[in-house]
Amino acid sequence: MKPARFRYLRAASVDDALQALADNPDAHILAGGQSLIAMMNLRLVKPACLIDINRIPDIGYIREDGDGIAIGALARHNDVKHSPLIRERCPLLTEAYESIAHHTVRNRGTLGGNLCHADPSSEAPAVMVAMGATLVLQSLRGRREVGAEDFFLGTYETARQQDEMLVEIRIPGRGANGWAFAEISNRHGDFAIAVVATTVTLANGRCEAARVVASGVGEHAARLEPAEEALVGGPIDDARLDAAASAAAGAVDPHSDSHADAAYRRDAIAALTKRTVRRAAGRCG
Ligand SMILES: Cc1cc2nc3c(=O)[nH]c(=O)nc-3n(C[C@H](O)[C@H](O)[C@H](O)COP(=O)(O)OP(=O)(O)OC[C@H]3O[C@@H](n4cnc5c(N)ncnc54)[C@H](O)[C@@H]3O)c2cc1C
């Protein structure tokens, strides 16, 4: 399949891209093209104009941001995956990258594009919600920051307005002292059937805070608050693990498709919750 006709604009700067977005209300930003071009070829989207941001200098950075990390719009998946800074400050994301796509796709695809694409089976949105990340959006109207929890609204739907560009992803310093990611997919590198990303904070053997975030089982990555509540307030023992797993299964309303039926996805979420919470607790210093 070939895409429908479109205009191609190459932005030389962020300001250039923002002006082009404002001037072309039906434009899409082209980052790595690893999702957008496939969707255009299938004619699932038909943008009249593409704004290529690949030649904008200095927006592919990964750098310290206080205790946390700031990631530029054009940071490629593989740069994030192999970044020592990310491994040190957000090892949950490094662990998730073991399951995200394939080497060639990661060479070109960007974390920013992945988040803006908002595939309901994508792994990175779950990590962003678990870490309490902030997405920085910019337009000619100004800049605003949106928490990851409020950014993902539905299947391929985010809080980004049409004239806004995602310019930065900010991940705060690691508040939680335990973390773990796990997923079930048909083949390594495929989109997930079910994902759980977990962070826990343990103090004196007692769970003080937890985030259990699922993806692949709803329209977007979302916290499983009943599971989090089942963990907080005591030691992470077998009883708490069982309670969290069954609360997680009860908190999702998964769909059936050719990869897995709803009952399988629900069981998977229970198993992945138990697995990630146990591993996260084991990692607490
Ligand atoms: C074979 C294959 C396997 C894959 N497997 C996985 C997988 O297992 N897990 C997974 O999560 N993903 C997977 N992907 C998708 C991959 O992660 C893509 O790289 C990602 O979804 C999109 O990033 P991109 O940079 O390629 O964005 P693009 O395809 O260029 O853009 C995607 C969308 O985001 C918008 N956009 C991009 N950047 C910005 C920005 N800065 N501001 C505003 N809007 C923007 C675009 O306009 C477009 O609507 C796979 C892709 C392929 C081809």
The last residue of one of the domains, among 116, 149, 171, is: 171
Give domain status of residue 137, yes or no.
Answer: yes
Beta-bridge mates of residue 221:
none
CA distance 278 to 96: 17
Give domain status of residue 2, yes or no.
Answer: no
The last residue of one of the domains, among 124, 153, 171, is: 171
Q: Same structural domain for residues 73 and 157?
A: yes
The residue whose two tokens read 């928490």 is 147
For the Cβ of 215 lying below 6 angstroms from any atom of ligand 1, the answer is no
**Rounded percentage of the chain residues whose pLDDT exceeds 70:** 99
Q: The tokens of 196 are what? A: 């759980």
The residue whose two tokens read 């990661």 is 106
Domain residues for the domain of 40 are: 7-52
For the Cβ of 29 lying below 6 angstroms from any atom of ligand 1, the answer is yes
For the Cβ of 254 lying below 6 angstroms from any atom of ligand 1, the answer is no
Q: Same structural domain for residues 48 and 70?
A: no
Q: Tell me the per-residue pLDDT of 50-71, one tens digit each, with 9 for 90 and over.
A: 999 999 999 999 999 999 999 9
Q: Same structural domain for residues 157 and 183?
A: no
Closest CA to 215 of 137, 110, 85, 123: 123
Q: Tell me the per-residue pLDDT of 214-269, one tens digit each, with 9 for 90 and over.
A: 999 999 999 999 999 999 999 999 999 999 999 999 999 999 999 999 999 999 99
Q: Tell me the per-residue pLDDT of 177-224, one tens digit each, with 9 for 90 and over.
A: 899 999 999 888 788 999 999 999 999 999 999 999 999 999 999 999
Q: How far is the CA of 254 from the centre of ligand 1 (A)?
A: 23
For atom 6 of ligand 1, the residue with the nearest CA is 101
Give domain status of residue 188, yes or no.
Answer: yes
Q: Same structural domain for residues 90 and 160?
A: yes
The last residue of one of the domains, among 140, 171, 202, is: 171
Q: How far is the CA of 118 from the centre of ligand 1 (A)?
A: 8
Q: Same structural domain for residues 232 and 279?
A: yes
DSSP H or E stretch at residue 13? none
For residue 39, the domain's CATH number is: 3.30.43.10
Give domain status of residue 57, yes or no.
Answer: no
For residue 260, the domain's CATH number is: 3.30.390.50
Residue 174 pLDDT level (bands cut at 50, 70, 90): low
Closest CA to 52 of 36, 38, 41: 36
For residue 76, the domain's CATH number is: 3.30.465.10
Q: Same structural domain for residues 122 and 79?
A: yes
Per-residue model confidence (pLDDT) at position 66: 93
Q: Same structural domain for residues 92 and 163?
A: yes
Cα–Cα distance list, 269 to 79, 143, 228, 256 (Å) = 29, 36, 13, 14
Q: Same structural domain for residues 13 and 71?
A: no
Number of domains in the chain: 3
For the Cβ of 116 lying below 6 angstroms from any atom of ligand 1, the answer is yes
Residue 19 pLDDT level (bands cut at 50, 70, 90): very high
For the Cβ of 30 lying below 6 angstroms from any atom of ligand 1, the answer is yes
Q: What integer best gives the mean pLDDT of the chain?
A: 96
184: left (phi over 0), alpha (psi -120 to 50) or beta: beta
